[in-house]
Structure 1
Amino acid sequence: MCQLFINADNQLWAYKTKSLRIDGVVTSIRLETFFWEILEELSFRDQITVNQMITKLYHESLDADHDISNFTSFLRVCASRYLSLIADGDLIRESDTSLSDVGTQDILGQESIRRRERKVRFNHAINKHSIN
């Protein structure tokens, strides 16, 4: 298993810092190359620049009263969730459908169900192993 990760291109975890302007304030975001590539894919899908998408996510997070004190972590989770939704079949990776045009509520509902089911399954497996 480890070789799958150890032998991957080490540039994927190299940091890359980008500067952008949000509401007139210049800010820098430092992420691994892997996450920048996923964010580029997300922005391409919605036909906007990465900077525009990040600004949009920032504003929508504020509107939703999210704690965005660690916005960089939020961006990593966004990228990871995107890949997870693809892996679970909720999104099609090569689609040019904008993310604002997908069935958000249905996808979030299915994701919630899967997370609960996985938690139960993993807890059951852990309990089974600790009994043996």
Structure 2
Amino acid sequence: MCQIFAGQDPADYEPETRRLRLNGQSTSIRLERSFWDILDEIAASEGLSTPAFVSRLHSEVLELRGEAPNFTSLLRCACLIRTRQTALRPLALAAE
């Protein structure tokens, strides 16, 4: 079983830093490439660029919570939510 995890391509977990604007402030976010790939997919499905999607998400978090103490962790968890939703979609369709 561990070979599934240990044998993954190192490029998938290589850190990648992207520069973008959050609420008008220039910043950089460093995530593993696999997370950026998922964020790119989410953004495309929303009809947005990845920077626009991340900025919108950041704004919504500020509205709901007042702050985002660890925004990169929030982004990783958003990717997990998306992955779970994608995995469960075929099961929901099969049940119909």
**Structure 1 or 2: more strand by fraction:** 2
Taking every aligned residue pair, what percent have the same amino acid on both sides? Answer: 33
Of structures 1 and 2, the larger Rg is shown by: 1
- Following TM superposition, by how much is the alpha carbon of 1:6 offset from its aligned partner in structure 2, in angstroms? 1.1
- Pairwise mapping of residues 1-132 of structure 1 onto structure 2 (< 5 A)? 1-65=1-65, 67-89=67-89
What residue in structure 1 maps to residue 94 of structure 2? none
What residue in structure 2 maps to residue 103 of structure 1? none
- Between 1:64-73 and 1:42-51, the stretch displaced more is 64-73
Q: With structure 1 as the length reference, what TM-score do the two structures score?
A: 0.65
Unaligned runs of 5+ in 2: 91-96
C-alpha RMSD of matched pairs (Å): 1.6
SS in 1 for 2:62: helix
Match for 2:39: what amino acid?
A: L
In structure 1, how many angstroms separate the alpha carbons of the residues matched to 2:48 and 2:65? 24
SS in 1 for 2:29: strand
- Between 1:9-18 and 1:59-68, the stretch displaced more is 59-68
- Following TM superposition, by how much is the alpha carbon of 1:23 offset from its aligned partner in structure 2, in angstroms? 2.3
Q: With structure 2 as the length reference, what TM-score do the two structures score?
A: 0.88
State whether residues 23 and 59 of structure 2, in contact with CA within 8 Å, keep that contact through their aligned partners in structure 1: no
Match for 1:10: what amino acid?
A: P
In structure 1, how many angstroms separate the alpha carbons of the residues matched to 2:30 and 2:70? 12
In structure 2, how many angstroms separate the alpha carbons of the residues matched to 1:7 and 1:71? 29
In structure 2, how many angstroms separate the alpha carbons of the residues matched to 1:33 and 1:80? 14
- Between 1:65-74 and 1:23-32, the stretch displaced more is 65-74
Runs of 4+ in structure 1 displaced over 4 angstroms?
none
Aligned residues: 91
